[in-house]
Structure 1
Amino acid sequence: MQVWYAGYGSNLSRSRFLCYLTGGRPEGASRTYPGARDQSPPQDDRALTLPGEMVFAWDSPTWGGGVAFYDADTPGVTLARAYLVTEQQFADVAAQEMHRAPGVDLDLTQVLHEARHRLGPGRYESLHLVGELEGAPVLTFTTPNLAALQRSSPTAAYLRAIVAGLREAHHLSDEALVTYLLGRPGIAPAWDAASLAELVSEPTRR
C-alpha cells in the first residue's frame, strides 16, 4: 500500500526528509540516520495544508532546541508537505523519528479506521490520519501529549530546514515566511520579526 507522509517541521525540506530514506545527517543536525530498508525516493510530493496548529516544544538532542509538533485539536493552519511512500517506508521513517532502528512494519489498521493511534509515550508516537489524496491516506505523527512538553524556541539550523521546505513546496515570500513562523507558539523568545526576517533573507545554501 502507498501512503502520503505529511511533514510539517524540518521534513518540509526534501533533502532533510531524504535522510530518513537514504540515510545521512541533515545540515545543522547532530544525528546521522541509517535510512529505510527501501531507499527509493518518494514517488511524488505535494504542498499540503493541515487543519490545526504547529508548535515548537521540547529540547531536541538532534537540533539543540525546540522542534515542531502538530496539534490537531487547536484551530489554525499548518503548512505541510506530503511525500508519497510505501507503507514500509513510512514505518521506517516513523521508527527513526521515534529514535528506534528501522525494520519493523507498522499495523496501520487502527489509525486508518479511527484517525488516531497511540503507539507509545514518545515524542512522535501518535499517528494521525489527516486526510486522503488521490485515493491514498495522508498520515503524520506527533506527540501523544503536547501539554506535557514545554514550549521551546527552535535553533537557526532547524528553522533553515523549515524555511527551505516552505520555499520549495509552498513558494512563500520572505514576508509570508516571517508571518507564518512568527505565529507559531514556542517561536519566542529567541525569535522575533526582525531576527526571523534576517534568517529568511539569508542567501540560499547550496
Structure 2
Amino acid sequence: MSSPPLVWYASYGSNMYAARLRCYLEGGTPPGAQRDYAGCRDRSPARRVVASEFPGGVYFATESPVWHGGRAFFDPALPGRAAMRSYLVSAGQFSDIAEQEMYREPGPDLDLGTVLRTGRDELGPGRYETLLHLGDLDGYPVLTFTAPWSASEIEKNPPSAAYLAMLVGGLREAHGWSLPEIAEYLAPLPGVPGHWSAPEIADLAPRATP
C-alpha cells in the first residue's frame, strides 16, 4: 500500500497547541521551546484542523531536555479515550514532523505502507518512532507516533508546569473545554497523580498563551 497524498497527524501532546505545530511546519522556535526547528520541506499550513478523540490513553514518561519533565505518550491499550487535535497534512509533512520530534532533519518521506496495512509500524527504538493508524476521517488515514513500549513497561515521570501549560492551551484551542474540564482530563493521566492536582493544573492556564 503506497502512501496517500494527505494524512491526518493526530497530536496528543504539546503539538495540540497550534502555534507550536506551526513551527514544525514553517520552522522557528515554538512557544516554550529552547531549540529552533527546521520546518517541513513543504511549509504549507495544515489543510484542516479538527478536534478528535481515540480509544486509549495518554501517559507521561522519560525526561524531555526541552521541558525538563515527562513527555506525553499514547498507548492504545489504556482504558478510556485520548483527546487529540488532528491536522490534515501531506504525507511528506507528516514524515518531517516525525523526524523533527526525533531531533533529526526533515526528509526523506517515511514509508507508510506497513502502518496503513497493519495499524502499527516500529521504525526504530526511539521514543516517537512507532507509527499508529488510528482510523480514517473523511477518506484520509489518521496517524500518530508514540513509543515502542507500553505504558506498563516504563517508569512514569511527571510533566513540568511549562509542558502541562502547552497541553492546557492545546485542549482549550482544540476542544473548547473549560478549565475544570481540562484539569479533570489531565489530572488522572499516569504520571500526573501525586504531583499535580486538578486545581494546580487549572492555574496553569494563564501560562498556556505566550
TM-score in terms of structure 2 length: 0.93
Residues 66-81 of structure 1 mapped to structure 2, 5 A cutoff? 66-81=70-85
Residues 24-173 of structure 1 mapped to structure 2, 5 A cutoff? 24-146=28-150, 147-173=152-178
C-alpha distance in 2 between matches for 1:100 and 1:197: 34
Q: Is the 8 A contact 1:29 1:157 kept in 2?
A: no
Query: How many percent of aligned residue pairs carry the same amino acid?
Result: 48
Question: Out of 4, 11, 19, which is 1:7 matched to?
Answer: 11
Give the Å deviation of 1:203: 6.9
CA displacement 1:22-70 (0-9 Å, x = unmatched): 1112222222111110011000010000100100111001111111100
Is the partner of 2:204 in helix, strand or coil?
A: helix
Give the Å deviation of 1:150: 2.1
Greater shift, 155-164 or 141-150, is seen at: 141-150
Is the partner of 1:56 in helix, strand or coil?
A: strand
* Residue type of the alignment partner of 1:61: P
Q: 1:52 to 1:133 in 2, by over 3 A?
A: same
C-alpha distance in 2 between matches for 1:79 and 1:69: 12
Q: Is the 8 A contact 1:88 1:105 kept in 2?
A: yes
C-alpha distance in 1 between matches for 2:182 and 2:61: 19
Give the Å deviation of 1:9: 0.5
Give the Å deviation of 1:117: 0.3
C-alpha distance in 1 between matches for 2:90 and 2:68: 31
CA displacement 1:161-201 (0-9 Å, x = unmatched): 1111111110001110110011211013331123113223x
Q: Is the 8 A contact 1:27 1:157 kept in 2?
A: no
**Structure 2 segments unaligned to the other structure (5+ residues):** none
Partner of residue 201, structure 2: 196
Greater shift, 114-123 or 179-188, is seen at: 179-188
C-alpha distance in 1 between matches for 2:195 and 2:77: 26
TM-score in terms of structure 1 length: 0.95
Match status 1:179 vs 2:187: no
C-alpha distance in 2 between matches for 1:203 and 1:55: 22
